[in-house]
Amino acid sequence: MSIELKDVHKAFGEKRVLRGFTLSVERGETVSVIGGSGQGKSTLLKHVNGLLKPDAGEVWVDGQRIDQLEGEPLYETRRKVGYVFQFAALFDSMTIAENVAMGLRRIPGLSEADIADRVRTALARVDLEGVDEQYPSELSGGMRKRAGLARAIALEPAYLLYDEPTTGLDPVTLSMVDELILRMSDRLGVTSVVITHDMESAYRISDRIVMLHEGRARVAGTPDEIRDSADPVVRAFVEGRADLLEEAS
Ligand SMILES: Nc1ncnc2c1ncn2[C@@H]1O[C@H](COP(=O)(O)OP(=O)(O)OP(=O)(O)O)[C@@H](O)[C@H]1O
Ligand SMILES: [Mg+2]
């Protein structure tokens, strides 16, 4: 098992967000997490790279309990885990090339030429050539999103966590990002967790889909199983039908 969350609980003050969330992701697998806004999807993902610590439960990554790591051992494990933030999270005062190079500079033994090479390759992979010297504010939202993606893949991580990588992208760019996620998985064997609201994209890229609902994994199944799910909460989300939710409650 390469990523495993066991009975994870997390509250912010009075707000109980994760309430016994359990999920196992096998090596090389791509698992998508779906669920309504505010259900805790980003919170969940931040536990996987140790940005957040659970109140209770365990988070395993690459054979380590990342929730118990601190300092250098935490950074060492985190380096294997690429994170594509929901809102790009680029540094406005740095150029796109500098943003993408940022994580690479922390890898010992990489020369400036190696770094430049990896930045170029990563930007090309997301179809963002020629913007190296521009600043994030000069790019469109979709381009910034792809720059965030380039920064994560430049590190060539064994694990990739994507927080809504396709939200707000035009259909062509969206299918390009889907292709990229598939390629990272098929060619490089990357293990991925993808948060998405886009069911077509989830069906296309996922080995399994999990729904986060009221702090727990509501269902976990293959795209076909999710498509055919009889669970009204799943169907309400998948089919975009609020009326089914009322039926369920
Ligand atoms: N650092 C924090 N401090 C306080 N509350 C937080 C914090 N992070 C998240 N929350 C709260 O936890 C809940 C879940 O937030 P989260 O961002 O994980 O939801 P989400 O499922 O990713 O939503 P969206 O689909 O809108 O991105 C929300 O009510 C949010 O306000
Ligand atoms: Mg979110």
- Three-state DSSP class for residue 152: helix
pLDDT tens per residue across span 108-157: 899 999 999 999 999 998 889 899 999 999 998 888 988 998 999 999 99
- Three-state DSSP class for residue 50: coil
Sign of CA pseudo-dihedral 227, 29, 110, 47:
positive
Degrees, nearest 5: CA angle 51-77-80: 100
Nearest atom in ligand 1 to 45's CA:
18
Phi-psi region of 236 (alpha: psi -120 to 50; beta: other; left: phi over 0): alpha
- Per the structure block, which two tokens stand in for 66? 């990342």
**Structural domain includes residue 96:** no
Q: Of the residues 17, 196, 214, which should be mutated to test ligand 1's pocket, given the most ligand atoms within 8 Å of the CB?
A: 17
Task: Please list all protein residues whose beta carbon sits less than 5 angstroms from ligand 2, which is an ion.
Answer: 41-42, 86
**Structural domain includes residue 87:** no
104 — pLDDT class (breaks 50, 70, 90): very high
- Determine the distance separating the centroid of ligand 2 and the alpha carbon of 108, expressed in angstroms: 32
- Residue 33, beta-bridge partner list: 195, 210
- Determine the distance separating the centroid of ligand 1 and the alpha carbon of 56, expressed in angstroms: 18
pTM of the prediction?
A: 0.91
Domain count, the chain: 1
**Structural domain includes residue 42:** yes
**Structural domain includes residue 206:** yes
**Structural domain includes residue 156:** no
**Structural domain includes residue 14:** yes
Degrees, nearest 5: CA angle 108-89-176: 90
Please give the pLDDT value at position 240: 84
pLDDT tens per residue across span 217-226: 988 899 999 9
What are the two backbone dihedrals, phi and then psi, of residue 102, each rounded to the nearest 5 degrees?
-50, -55
Judged by its nearest atom, the ligand closest to the C-alpha of residue 52 is 1
Mind giving me the DSSP string for 205-220? H-SEEEEEETTEEEEE
pLDDT tens per residue across span 166-208: 888 888 888 888 998 998 898 889 999 999 989 999 999 999 9
**Structural domain includes residue 209:** yes
Range of the domain at 6: 1-80+195-249
- Determine the distance separating the centroid of ligand 1 and the alpha carbon of 13, expressed in angstroms: 12
Residues with CB under 6 A from ligand 1: 12, 15, 17, 35, 37-43, 86
pLDDT tens per residue across span 1-17: 599 999 999 999 999 99
**Structural domain includes residue 146:** no
The identity of residue 6, as a single letter, is K
- Listed as own residue / partner, the contacts of 208-211 with beta carbons closer than 8 Å and 24 or more positions apart are 208/29, 208/31, 208/32, 209/31, 209/32, 209/33, 209/34, 210/23, 210/31, 210/32, 210/33, 210/34, 211/33, 211/34, 211/35, 211/237
Please give the pLDDT value at position 187: 82
For residue 206, the domain's CATH number is 3.40.50.300
